[in-house]
Chain A
Amino acid sequence: KQEVTQIPAALSVPEGENLVLNCSFTDSAIYNLQWFRQDPGKGLTSLLLIQSSQREQTSGRLNASLDKSSGRSTLYIAASQPGDSATYLCAVSGGGADGLTFGKGTHLIIQP
């Protein structure tokens, strides 16, 4: 059974810092990996989708990497801003209609 772990569970840093969020998964036979953010009381916003054949994806100040063989992904946020404060969720898919298996998230606070 796939399990996804996210470290750290919570992170508070001053504005402007670069930071890394970590995600690991137990079964490397994934189809893709997706990073989401969730603001308090809101839904999930997709940030980046990495297919299993890809090593990384970039969108603006965000960069996500995938090392499928070691079961790891990182989300890099450059020049953090207070608006980046949210919970970041990592999720993996086994393909087909398996659905996503989620980690418990990293609660991020960017201090102004």
Chain B
Amino acid sequence: DTAVSQTPKYLVTQMGNDKSIKCEQNLGHDTMYWYKQDSKKFLKIMFSYNNKELIINETVPNRFSPKSPDKAHLNLHINSLELGDSAVYFCASSQVTYGYTFGSGTRLTVV
């Protein structure tokens, strides 16, 4: 059983398109996150959701919008994709004292 799963694994799309990445966790964790890993491999938090409430929004363009239908899911929707959005996006979940569990990543390429 995969603890944190995200789909798709790879996403190639043209500039200007709108796309979504889905994430699901079966750990029963209270908080879910989206992280972006840039071309230099640096990981930075984008959003976190705690009990369906947005907690952090780190200077991310408003073209990015997280949507959480329930505690186990946190999807990332991106409007009007730009070349600079190309990166690997990781979903994660956490529970106090148990640390963080990451998904396997979605490699987004905007052409």
Known: A43-B103, A49-B99, A93-B100. A99 touches B33 (CB 8 A): yes
Flag if B45 contacts A100 (CB, 8 Å): yes
Flag if A99 contacts B101 (CB, 8 Å): no
Enumerate chain A residues within 8 angstroms of B55, measured Cβ to Cβ. Answer: 96-97
Known: A43-B102, A43-B104, A104-B41. A99 touches B90 (CB 8 A): no
- Total A-B contacts with CB atoms under 8 angstroms apart: 58
User: Is B44 an interface residue, CB under 8 A from the partner?
Assistant: yes
Flag if B50 contacts A97 (CB, 8 Å): yes
Known: A99-B33, A104-B42. A32 touches B48 (CB 8 A): no
A residues near B, CB below 8 A? 32, 34, 36, 38, 42-44, 46, 49, 51, 87, 89, 91, 93, 95-102, 104-105
